[in-house]
Amino acid sequence: MNQQHPSMEVMCHVHNCKFNENDYCFAPKLEVNPLQGSGASNSKEALCTTFQPR
Ligand code: SF4
């Protein structure tokens, strides 16, 4: 089956995010962006911008 978008299980330990349940992300869609500009040098510069505090 050809899917337009991939889907995957996302494990996340940001427990105060409203999408987090038992260490998994239940957001309908996840967006990750670089801290600044259009690229990241390491994982600290790649941020989940879907995060919303509970
Ligand atoms: S939206 Fe981001 S921070 Fe929140 S549970 Fe999902 S991956 Fe974690």
3-state class (DSSP) for residue 23: coil
Ligand 1, atom 4, residue with closest C-alpha? 51
What is the residue extent of each domain of the chain?
A: 9-34
Q: Please, which residues have CB within 8 angstroms of residue 28's CB and are 6 or more apart in sequence?
A: none
Please choose from 11, 12, 49 the residue to mutate so as to test ligand 1's pocket, defined by most ligand atoms within 8 A of CB: 12
User: Which residues make beta-bridge pairs with 48?
Assistant: 32
Task: Give the integer Cα–Cα distance in Å for 14 and 53.
Answer: 9
- Are the C-beta atoms of 45 and 37 separated by less than 8 Å? no
37: left (phi over 0), alpha (psi -120 to 50) or beta: left
From ligand 1's centre to the CA of 36, what distance in Å? 19
pLDDT tens for 22-44 read 999 999 999 999 999 999 999 99
Its pTM stands at 0.86
How far does the centroid of ligand 1 lie from the alpha carbon of residue 24, in Å? 8
Say how many Å lie between the CA of residue 3 and the centre of ligand 1.
23
pLDDT reading at 1 higher than 70 = no
